[in-house]
A and B are shown apart, each in its own frame.
Chain A
Amino acid sequence: MKVAIVKYNAGNIYSVVHALRRLGVGPILTDSPKELRSADRVLFPGQGEASQAMGYLHEHGLDDVIRSLTQPVLGICIGQQLMCRHSEEGDTDCLGIFPADVVRFRPTRHEDKVPHMGWNEIRTENEKINHVGLFENNSFVYFVHSFYVPVCEFTAATCDYIVPFSAALHKDNFYATQFHPEKSGAVGEDILRRFLEAT
Chain B
Amino acid sequence: MLAKRIIPCLDVKDGQTVKGTNFVNLRHAGDPVELGRAYSEQGADELVFLDITASHEGRKTFADMVTRVAAEVNIPFTVGGGISALSDVDRLLNAGADKVSINSAALRRPELIDEITNHFGSQVCVVAIDARQDEQGAWTCYLNGGRIPTERSLFDWAHEAQERGAGEILFTSMNHDGVKTGFANEALRHLSDTLSIPIIASGGAGTREHFRDTFLLGHSDAALAASVFHFGEISIPELKLYLKSEGIAVRPPLLQP
Asked if A47 and B76 make an inter-chain contact with CB atoms under 8 angstroms apart, the answer reads no
Interface string of A106-141 (1 = CB under 8 A from B): 010011011111111100000000000000000010
Contact present for B5 and A185 (CB under 8 Å): no
Chain A residues near B221 (CB-CB < 8 A): 113, 118
Interface of B: prevailing SS:
loop
Indicate if B24 sits at the interface (CB-CB under 8 A): no
A188 to B73, CA, bound (A): 12
CA distance A142 to B72 in the complex (A): 17
Query: What's the least CB distance linking B126 to chain A, in Å?
Result: 11
CB–CB B3/A113 < 8 A: no
Contact of B75 among A21, A114, A115, A183 (CB under 8 A): A183
Q: Is the CB of A182 within 8 A of B2?
A: no
Is B76's CB under 8 angstroms from A183's CB? yes
Asked whether, in the complex, the Cβ of A19 is within 8 Å of the Cβ of B74, the reply is: yes
Per the bound structure, the CA–CA distance linking A113 and B192 in Å amounts to: 10
Distance of A47 Cα from B167 Cα, bound (Å): 15
- Which of B40, B71, B252 interacts with A21 by CB under 8 Å? B71
Q: Assuming the A-B contacts A14-B94, A14-B96, A15-B98, are A142 and B75 also in contact, with contact meaning beta carbons closer than 8 angstroms in the complex?
A: yes
Q: Which residue of B lies closest to A116 (CB)?
A: B2
Given the complex of chains A and B, what is the CA–CA distance between A121 and B1 in angstroms? Answer: 7
Shortest CB distance A3–B (Å): 17
Interface check B59, CB cutoff 8 A: no
What is the total number of residues of chain B having a CB less than 8 Å from a CB of chain A?
32
Which residues of chain B from 156 to 212 have a CB within 8 Å of any chain A CB? 167-168, 193, 196-198
B1, B74, B93: which contacts A184 (Cβ < 8 A)?
B74
- How many Å from the CB of A7 to the closest CB on chain B? 15
Query: CB-CB contacts of A176-199 with B at 8 A, as 1s and 0s?
Result: 000000111110110000000000
State whether the Cβ of B123 lies closer than 8 Å to any Cβ in chain A. Answer: yes
Q: Does B11 reach chain A (CB closer than 8 Å)?
A: no
Closest to A115 in B: B123
State which size class the interface on A falls in. Answer: 20 to 34
B45 touches A118 (CB 8 A): yes
User: Nearest CB to that of B168 among chain A residues?
Assistant: A117
Residue in A113, A119, A142, A144 whose CB lies within 8 Å of B197: A113
Residues of A within 8 A of B198 (CB): 113, 117-118
Smallest beta-carbon distance A179→chain B, Å: 11
For window 50-72 of A, CB contacts with B under 8 Å fall at: none
Q: Are B74 and A22 in contact, CB atoms less than 8 angstroms apart?
A: yes
Q: Which residues in chain B, 104-128, are within 8 Å of chain A measured between CB atoms?
A: 120-123
Interface residues as binary, B86-100 with A (CB distance below 8 Å gives 1, 0 otherwise): 000000011010100
How many angstroms between the C-alpha atoms of A189 and B168 in the bound complex?
A: 27
- Establish whether residues B45 and A119, one from each chain, have CB atoms under 8 Å apart when the complex forms: yes
**CB-defined contacts of B13 to chain A, threshold 8 Å:** none
Are A183 and B167 interface neighbours, CB within 8 A? no
A118/B123 contact (C-beta < 8 A), A19-B74, A183-B74, A185-B75 known: no
B3 cross-chain contacts in A, Cβ below 8 A: 118-121, 140
Is there a chain A Cβ closer than 8 Å to B254's Cβ?
A: yes
Q: Are A120 and B74 in contact (CB under 8 A)?
A: no
Distance between Cα atoms of A48 and B251 in the complex (Å): 27
Residue on A nearest B197 in the bound complex, by CB:
A113
Q: A104: CB under 8 A from chain B?
A: no
Contacts of B219 in A (CB 8 A): 111
Q: In the bound complex, what is the Cα–Cα distance between A169 and B22 (angstroms)?
A: 45
User: At the interface, yes or no: B70 with Cβ under 8 Å from chain A?
Assistant: yes
A22 partner residues in chain B, CB cutoff 8 A: 71-72, 74
Q: A140-B251, A140-B252, A160-B1 are in contact. Are A117 and B123 (CB under 8 A)?
A: yes
Please name all residues of chain B whose beta carbon is closer than 8 Å to the beta carbon of A120 when the two chains form the complex.
Answer: 1-3
Within 8 A of B (CB), among A136-186: 140, 142, 144, 160-161, 182-186
Evaluate whether A15 and B196 lie within 8 angstroms (CB atoms) in the complex, with A120-B1, A120-B2, A185-B254 already known: no
A-B contact list, 22 entries, CB within 8 Å: A12-B98, A14-B96, A15-B96, A22-B72, A48-B121, A107-B196, A113-B221, A114-B196, A118-B5, A119-B2, A120-B1, A120-B2, A121-B1, A140-B3, A161-B2, A183-B74, A184-B74, A184-B75, A185-B40, A185-B74, A185-B254, A186-B254
Those 3 A-B pairs whose CB atoms lie nearest each other, nearest first: A140-B251, A119-B3, A119-B251
